[in-house]
Amino acid sequence: MFNDQPTVSRRRFVSSSLVSAALLVVACRAPATVSQTSPTGASTSSALASTVLTPTAANVDPEDATPAETEGPYFKPNSPERTSLVGAGVVGTKLALTGQVVSQHGQPIAKALLDFWQADGQGNYDNAAYTLRGHQFTDAEGRYQLATVVPGLYPGRTRHIHVKVQAPNQAILTTQLYFPNEPRNTSDSLFNARLLMTLQDAADGSKLGQFKFVLNVG
Ligand code: FE
């Protein structure tokens, strides 16, 4: 779903680079090891060849994990559990954000924690209370839904929503979601195209966003 994702991810680039490097090492060493024999009777060249031919976990074509981002200065622990952050007096264009949390192998993760926090439509965080802050858990299919508003801009940043995501008994992923076609996306050093949600206009003037989180789980 990452339409703006680079065609060659960093992981795949690194993986292919490592394989290329391994092949180069084998290619360089092979002539010198053809006649060598290990204590088990297997030739060294055979051992090296099997190392190259055996697929590694990184080459099984898992979905690339959602990248982490800085937490920023406005996170507050102990947010209320709720799927709607739109309460009385909340300023901004309504946004319905939906999606799924899956493992690196594409398996849905039930009961994953998502803790969202963001600025209101005017770019202001509520640091005194919990306006536009809330956590929830994914359902049995790993799905989540958040009713919120499109965050406003504040100095130095492009439009974004902060979130922490945690599969049960796994490490916390702290990251941020971004909005497509934002002029400041190109100038914000934290912006990552892999964290772009897809965004559509609803008939009533609100927005519909979607994002799938991919977690590396053990
Ligand atoms: Fe922020």
Which pLDDT tens digit goes with each residue over 78-128? 999 999 999 889 999 999 999 999 999 999 999 999 999 999 999 999 999
Q: Given this model, what pLDDT does residue 62 score?
A: 63
Backbone φ, ψ for residue 21 (5° rounding): -65, -40
Q: Which residue type, as a one-letter code, is found at position 108? A: P
Q: Given this model, what pLDDT does residue 88 score?
A: 86
Q: What are 145's strand-pairing partners?
A: 98
Between the CA of 125 and the centroid of ligand 1 the distance, in Å, is 8
Between the CA of 132 and the centroid of ligand 1 the distance, in Å, is 12
Between the CA of 116 and the centroid of ligand 1 the distance, in Å, is 11
Between the CA of 169 and the centroid of ligand 1 the distance, in Å, is 27
Structure tokens at 188: 């914000």
* 164 vs 61: CA distance, rounded Å: 25
Q: Spell out the SS3 assignment of the chain.
A: CCCCCCCCCHHHHHHHHHHHHHHHHHHHHHHHHCCCECCCCCEHHHHHHHHHHCCCHHHCCCCCCCCCCCCCCCCCCCCCECCECCCCCCCCCEEEEEEEEEECCCCECCCCEEEEECCCCCCCCCCCCCCCEEEEECCCCCEEEEEEECCCCCCCCCCEEEEEEECCCCCEEEEEEECCCCHHHHCCCCCCHHHECEEEECCCCCEEEEEEEEECCC
pLDDT below 70 — which residues of the chain?
1-62
CB count, 10 Å around CB of 153? Answer: 16
HSE (side-chain half, CA atoms, 13 Å) at 28 = 6
Q: Given this model, what pLDDT does residue 63 score?
A: 74
Between the CA of 145 and the centroid of ligand 1 the distance, in Å, is 20
Q: Given this model, what pLDDT does residue 16 score?
A: 45
Between the CA of 10 and the centroid of ligand 1 the distance, in Å, is 25
